[in-house]
Structure 1
């Protein structure tokens, strides 16, 4: 599997032309692994709840996913402190990263 494409400032991953906030690089490895493990358990719980059509379990599982993603810095307050805005979930073409990304596509 290829490594994800990261913006030059390493704040976002680019997936199918959309920006997704990367995890906080300042997290210590133990904390990061604990939260990634928690996220994976929560995602499996979402899948299970969907398969069993259990709305209550689905709500709990989705809340657990949200909690883990906030702890990782992928959602909630941004982890950088330079005042730059958050472009999470936006199409890269509609952000300041547009020219950078277009330059990559031209090189294909």
Structure 2
């Protein structure tokens, strides 16, 4: 029951029922976009389920998941068409790692693991030499670095490890 979505002339927004919404970043690979959308939809369903059961903690957790997925897709946070600064890249990298890891963990794929390189391709829209991304991912409470056998940041993998009462 998918409806036709109108795009603005510049492609930066979609129009649904007369309202403009920021479009997803078109530079995201289709397979990664599909995983992020799958996580977004699961998180939205979790918001509804938590609301119906009056579980405020579940609703708050699900809303964090929605936020992460939307930031990863480029629908929130720094606009994807604007040049990102390090802070915006780090925010999007962490959101991408969390959202992809959750999507893969829920699907039973790769134990919820995400490669550093694919996170950087989404967050920085290309290769990045910024050590701040690796530092942010290494230091995040819900991510655990997994030895991928290589020594470079591009070989590094992360697994989502939700903290108690967290994501």
Would you call these one fold, judging by a TM-score over 0.5? yes
Shift in Å, 1:17: 2.9
Aligned to 1:87: none
| Residue 40 (structure 2) pairs with residue 39 (structure 1) | yes
Could you report, residue by residue, the CA deviation over 1:18-70 in whole angstroms, capped at 9, with x for unpaired residues? 21000000001121011001101101100100110000000000110010000
- Which residue is 2:7 aligned to? 6
> How far apart, in 1, do the equivalents of 2:38 and 2:3 lie?
21
Compared CA separation, residues 42 and 2, structure 1 to 2 (3 A) = closer
Give the aligned partner of residue 17 of structure 2.
Answer: 16
- Write the distance in 1 (CA, Å) between the matches of 2:46 and 2:8: 31
What is the CA–CA distance in structure 1 between the aligned matches of 2:54 and 2:15, rounded to whole Å?
Answer: 32
> SS of 2:15's equivalent?
strand
User: Alpha carbon RMSD of aligned pairs, Å?
Assistant: 1.7
The whole-number CA distance in structure 2 between the counterparts of 1:32 and 1:19 is 20
Aligned to 2:74: 73
Which segments of 5 or more consecutive residues in structure 1 lack a partner in the other structure? 83-108
Corresponding residue number in structure 2 for 1:51: 52
Runs of 5+ consecutive residues of structure 2 not aligned to the other structure: 84-167
Secondary structure at 1:50's aligned position in 2?
Answer: helix
- Structure 1 stretches of 4+ with a deviation exceeding 6 A read none
Give the Cα separation in 2 of the matches to 1:28 and 1:39: 16
What is the number of residues matched between the two proteins? 83
What SS class does the counterpart of residue 81 from structure 1 fall into?
coil
Choose between structure 1 and 2 for higher RCO, CA contacts under 8 A separated by at least 6 residues: 1
Q: Name the residue aligned to 1:63.
A: 64
